[in-house]
Amino acid sequence: YVLGARPDRSTVMWTVRYLHSLRYFGPVARGVIEIVGGWTILLVATGIYLWWPRGQAGGVLSVRGDRRRRVFWRDTHAVTGIVVGGFIVFLAVTGMPWSQVWGGKVNEWANGHNFGYPSGVRVDVPMSDQRLTDTAQTSWSLEQARVPETPPPAQGAVPIGLNAAVAAFERLGLHRGFSVALPSSPTGVYSGSAYPDDLAQQRVVHLDQYSGRSLVDMSYADYGPMGRWLEFGINTHMGQQFGLANQILLLAVCGGIVLLAVSGGVMWWKRRPSRSMGVPPMPADRRVFRGLLAILAVGGVLFPLTGASLLVMLALDTAIRRLRGTASRAAA
């Protein structure tokens, strides 16, 4: 008996997930988040490069001074950064699959070219233009996978019905709690999908709606190497892979990120000259500066939108310097 009904993906958590990925706000907002994600990775990389102890004893893994002194906040920022930096990069990289440009391209590579299914999965059946993500919740690696079609039925053929389809999915061993998408046309299929916290149990099966024959049956083990790695990262990013320990660790990392932001702000406030932005001076060692430029250049190539934003920043900085120079000469 049907006990109730509600629209698919109408829960509070679905709303939270869509807000988190900015899918409500279109490609521009997702592009901005992609830029922020790329800059996050670059800030960690350049921060570690600047932290690297070049003969320095204090402020590497210890905090000097007290809260009244700027060195205390500098050391707090540096030590916190080196502890949580790797986790921040992990969160940024595993969040990038939903980004506008980088995520789209990596999704193509992870999916392979067989109708969106990883290479090696049997797809020698007719395929519709419908995407798996349009019919049911699916993994990131299969968002672009196309749904197969039931071959044209013989005259008088009758669909097996939902109960028989569910029984077939249970015989095939889909994880409990799987969802079923019903065929929407005479050539549609019954699609059973299960995406539990345990990655090994992820699976999607499409059935011929008349014979009940399995047309495509794919699990996590069938993903390509990149797809498996990214799905593992995404599952960990969402706090699912290792249960409560996963969630507690991510909560501690979030606390570290807040401390980084606060210590960075306090450090800037204590350093800034009166009526000035307090931009840090150029590194005294030119080799350090060249190393920073190399890191930024590599990051700009790996994350194109971030690289584009870097070029815009450089152009604005150059223009402002020239304007200031012109104004100074005019005043003299």
- Bridge partners for 203 per DSSP: 194, 219
Residues 256 and 78: their CA atoms lie apart, in Å, by 11
Tell me how many degrees the CA angle 101-47-96 measures, rounded to the nearest 5. 20
Given a cut of 90, whether residue 276 has pLDDT beyond it is no
Tens of pLDDT, residues 169-225 = 999 999 998 999 999 889 999 999 998 888 999 999 999 999 999 999 989 988 878
Look at residue 119 in the predicted model and tell me its pLDDT: 67
Higher pLDDT, 150 or 71: 150
* Torsion region of 79: left, alpha or beta (phi above 0 gives left; psi -120 to 50 gives alpha): alpha
Look at residue 57 in the predicted model and tell me its pLDDT: 67
Strands, DSSP E only, in 209-251?
Answer: 214-219
Please tell me the least confidently modeled range out of 102-116, 134-148, 155-169.
Answer: 102-116
Average pLDDT, the chain: 85
The DSSP code for 117 is B
Residues 280 and 217: their CA atoms lie apart, in Å, by 57
Look at residue 164 in the predicted model and tell me its pLDDT: 95
What lies within 8 Å, CB to CB, of 324 at 6+ separation is none
Tell me how many degrees the CA angle 306-307-308 measures, rounded to the nearest 5. 90
Residues 128 and 223: their CA atoms lie apart, in Å, by 21
Residues 198 and 242: their CA atoms lie apart, in Å, by 9
The number of helices, as runs of H, and strands, as runs of E, in the chain is 9, 6
Look at residue 260 in the predicted model and tell me its pLDDT: 92
Look at residue 254 in the predicted model and tell me its pLDDT: 94
* pLDDT band (50, 70, 90) for residue 278: low
Higher pLDDT, 126 or 8: 126
Residues 175 and 191: their CA atoms lie apart, in Å, by 14
Query: What is the β-pairing status of strands 189-194 and 127-131?
Result: unpaired
Domain extent listing, the chain: 12-101+240-304, 123-222
- Percent of the chain predicted with pLDDT > 90: 35
Residues 45 and 186: their CA atoms lie apart, in Å, by 55
Look at residue 277 in the predicted model and tell me its pLDDT: 67
And the tokens for 283? 């590194």
* pLDDT band (50, 70, 90) for residue 280: low
Helix axes 26-51, 102-111, angle to 10 degrees: 90
Tens of pLDDT, residues 30-55 = 888 889 999 999 999 988 888 887 76
Task: Provide mean pLDDT across the span 49-67.
Answer: 75
Phi and psi torsions of 203, nearest 5°: -165, 150
Instruction: Rank 106-120, 122-136, 246-260 by mean pLDDT and report only the highest.
Output: 246-260
Look at residue 173 in the predicted model and tell me its pLDDT: 94
Task: Provide mean pLDDT across the span 66-90.
Answer: 87
Residues 170 and 52: their CA atoms lie apart, in Å, by 56
Q: Are 192 and 178 in contact (CB under 8 A)?
A: yes
Look at residue 213 in the predicted model and tell me its pLDDT: 92
